[in-house]
C-alpha cells in the first residue's frame, strides 16, 4: 500500500534539485515551481528579477513506505550547499536560497532534526530557511524534467552532473534501480 506524501524544498536552481530527487527510490513525481514570495502566479522572468520574493523549489510526491521524509530532507541537505545565502554556485539571488517548506507539524519537527544533524557536516553555519508551505506555483513546462531532457547542454554537464554524481556516491542504496 502506498503512503503518499508531499515535500517541498529548494536549494538553488530547481533543475539541479529536481535531477537529484528524481533518482531516489520512492519518489513518484517532482514538479519544479515557485513559492514563499508575495506575487500571485509568478512567471520565470519575474522570478529572475528577484522582485517576487519567491524561491525556485521542487514539490515532491513520494511514497513514505519507500523513502522517509527524513531521508529525503537529508539527501537534499547534503547534495547542495546549505551554507551559502541566496546562492548556489554561479546562481545568485533570493530565488536561489536554500529553503524547506513544511506541510505539517510532523514535517517541521523532522526538518528541524535534520538541520541539527547536518550542522555537523558543514564548517559554516546552515542558512536554510524552514517555513510553512503556503501556495505553490508550478513553473513553466519547459522547466519540468529539465536535466533528463537536456543531458548534453552545458549547464547540465557542468553544474548538474556533479550533483548527480555526488548523489550516486553518497546514496547509492537509495537510488531507483
Q: Active-site residues: which are they?
A: 13
How far apart CA 71 and CA 160 sit, in angstroms, is 21
Burial of 86 (0-12, 13-18, 19+ CB in 10 A): middle
**CA–CA separation, 13 and 91 (whole Å):** 7
Q: Would you state the cell numbers that stand for residue 123, as one nine-digit string? A: 564548517
3-state helix, strand, coil in the chain (%, to 5): 40, 25, 35
- Return the closest-CA partner of residue 34 out of 15, 17, 56: 56
Q: CA-CA-CA-CA torsion for 116, 122, 127, 130, nearest 10 degrees? A: -30
Amino acid at each position: 500500500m502506498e503512503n503518499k506524501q508531499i515535500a517541498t524544498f529548494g536549494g538553488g536552481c530547481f533543475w539541479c534539485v529536481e535531477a537529484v530527487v528524481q533518482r531516489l527510490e520512492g519518489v513518484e513525481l517532482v514538479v519544479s515551481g515557485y513559492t514563499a514570495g508575495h506575487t500571485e502566479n509568478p512567471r520565470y522572468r519575474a522570478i529572475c528579477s528577484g522582485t517576487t520574493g519567491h524561491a525556485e523549489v521542487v514539490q515532491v510526491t513520494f511514497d513514505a513506505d519507500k523513502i522517509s521524509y527524513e531521508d529525503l530532507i537529508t539527501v537534499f541537505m547534503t547534495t547542495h550547499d546549505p551554507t551559502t545565502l541566496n546562492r548556489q554556485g554561479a546562481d545568485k539571488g533570493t530565488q536561489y536560497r536554500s529553503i524547506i517548506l513544511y506541510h505539517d507539524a510532523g514535517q517541521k519537527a523532522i526538518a528541524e532534526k535534520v538541520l541539527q544533524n547536518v550542522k555537523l557536516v558543514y564548517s559554516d553555519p546552515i542558512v536554510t530557511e524552514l517555513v510553512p508551505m503556503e501556495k505553490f506555483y508550478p513553473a513553466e513546462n519547459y522547466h519540468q524534467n529539465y536535466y533528463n531532457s537536456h543531458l548534453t547542454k552545458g549547464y547540465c554537464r557542468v553544474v548538474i552532473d556533479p550533483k548527480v554524481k555526488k548523489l550516486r556516491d553518497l546514496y547509492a542504496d537509495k537510488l531507483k534501480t
